[in-house]
Amino acid sequence: MSAITADFIADQNRVRLADHREDFDALARKLARRGLDPETLVKDAMAFAVAVPSWGVGTGGTRFARFPGPGEPRNVFDKLADCGVINTLTRLTPTVSPHIPWDKVKDYAELREAAKSHGLAFDAVNSNTFQDQAGQPLSYKFGSLAHTDKAVREQAIAHNIECVEIGRALGSKALTVWIGDGSNFAGQSSLARAFDRYLDSTAAIYRSLPNDWRMLLEHKLFEPAFYSTVISDWGSSYLAAQHLGPKAQCLVDLGHHAPTVNIEQIVARLARFGKLGGFHFNDSKYGDDDLDAASVSPFRLYLVFHELAEATRTIGPSFAPAYMIDQSHNVTDPIESLMQSAIEIARARAQAQLVDAEALAAAQETNDALTAHRLLKAGFLTDVSPLIAEARLRAGGALDPIATYRASGYRAATARERPAVAAGSAGIV
């Protein structure tokens, strides 16, 4: 496969450098006029990173169909090669979040080395008790960690403990637990007992965690269950994390809320009580659409990062949620979508650093609503493209990652090397 080399990136950057310099210098002057230091902001942008989902580099689908593209990854090693390209060009995604058993292999030391060869490490491991695997003794049709049958719960607990062991071999420091457990009819399930069974099961997993690990509980309003979901909202997730202990925290997947929910306020609440463990970034208009981050509501993503900036100011450097992307790319080249999404997430974060927090607090305290809103929005209205491009450039990345990727012929090379996958099978991966 043709590696995208530093020389190739330098060649691609050379033709864009003069325009970039001009744009960056203009932005730097504008930021300096606001009393901000462009150098500090570039260094801050260079320090930001977000993990990519291993399952995100294959074409995604819906329950109706999946339309694979050219050069679909055949296995986790192909996935790592593709994730490597994303980081090589954006310098924003040095870690990959694996999903078990989708990324199961015989030799995890070999997998860790393969990731390293692409300049990558592993982030939170995702368990999977929302599908039945071939040869699996007991079905998860009626749930997993909250199933009425103790034997099914124990099977699900054992799987999560195995994920922790796999994660240790890969160098991960967190387990993400999302379960689809719930019901489709009122009365089908005891809402109270289901939650208690979940607490018992997760407590067993919690006891298997190494001291320096976190367990991230991911809530979701609905799907695959359509009447009740055991961990349906941040409240249920918070209660469970509180009940389990300090290593348990809540993971906020942006697509897992009703359309009108104020997600940035959930972020503020969970951060305040030390239970904001991480994110699955994506975007949505209706349900868990898993669309590209900031492709529907860039202002909402910005407001989330504003709350993260406020929490960092209040809590300090120990405040370190895990930033991960969780998307399904049904109509785009997944590598391009993940690069674009990582850049949009870095953009929202850089914009949130521009807010004059003192002036904002003063306007809030004096109930000067419009001034407060304008001060907050000022960051969002600033085009920080040259600033995040400068951060990429200094880190050895591409000024225009998507144009550079297209010029590299990487996708055409994978299409030649990897057998075409027939369309047809439904499902997210």
Work out whether 253 is an interface residue with Mn ion (CB under 5 A). yes
282, two tokens? 């994506």
How far is Cα 373 from Cα 378, in angstroms, rounded to an integer? 9
Sign of CA dihedral 168, 170, 173, 179: negative
Work out whether 344 is an interface residue with ligand LRH (CB under 6 A). no
Q: Show contacts with ligand LRH in window 43-82 (CB under 6 A).
A: 55
How far is Cα 285 from Cα 290, in angstroms, rounded to an integer? 10
Work out whether 178 is an interface residue with ligand LRH (CB under 6 A). yes
Q: Which does 405 bind (CB under 5 to 8 A by kind): Mn ion, ligand LRH, none?
A: none
Work out whether 253 is an interface residue with ligand LRH (CB under 6 A). yes
Q: Which does 126 bind (CB under 5 to 8 A by kind): ligand LRH, Mn ion, none?
A: ligand LRH
Q: Which does 220 bind (CB under 5 to 8 A by kind): ligand LRH, Mn ion, none?
A: ligand LRH
Question: What residues pair up with 121 in beta bridges, in sequence order?
Answer: 95
* Closest approach of Mn ion to the CB of residue 193, in Å: 26
Identify the residue whose tokens are 């940035």.
Answer: 264
Work out whether 123 is an interface residue with Mn ion (CB under 5 A). no
Work out whether 290 is an interface residue with Mn ion (CB under 5 A). no
* Cα–Cα nearest to 53, from 307, 337, 398, 299: 337
Work out whether 126 is an interface residue with ligand LRH (CB under 6 A). yes
Among 91, 280, 392, 411, binds Mn ion (CB under 5 A): 280
Contact window for Mn ion (CB under 5 A) among 56-64, 111-119, 251-259, 397-405: 251-259
* Closest approach of ligand LRH to the CB of residue 170, in Å: 17
What lies within 8 Å, CB to CB, of 397 at 6+ separation is 9, 88, 89, 90, 91, 92
Work out whether 229 is an interface residue with ligand LRH (CB under 6 A). no
Among 82, 181, 288, 310, binds ligand LRH (CB under 6 A): 288
328, two tokens? 């399904």
* Cα–Cα nearest to 111, from 92, 83, 135: 83
24, two tokens? 């960056």
Work out whether 292 is an interface residue with ligand LRH (CB under 6 A). no
Report which residue's Cβ sits closest to ligand LRH.
Answer: 178
Work out whether 159 is an interface residue with ligand LRH (CB under 6 A). no
Among 118, 197, 220, 306, binds ligand LRH (CB under 6 A): 220
Q: Which does 24 bind (CB under 5 to 8 A by kind): ligand LRH, Mn ion, none?
A: none
Q: How far is CA 37 from CA 31, 32, 318, 353, 354, in A?
A: 7, 6, 24, 11, 10
Do the Cβ atoms of 44 and 353 come closer than 8 Å? yes
**H/E element, 410:** helix 410-417
DSSP letter at 426 equals: -
Binders of ligand LRH: how many residues, by CB under 6 A? 9
* Cα–Cα nearest to 381, from 413, 355, 406, 358: 355
* Closest approach of ligand LRH to the CB of residue 218, in Å: 5
Q: Residues in the site for ligand LRH, rule: CB under 6 A?
A: 55, 126, 178, 218, 220, 253, 280, 288, 326
Residues that bind Mn ion (CB under 5 A): 253, 280, 326
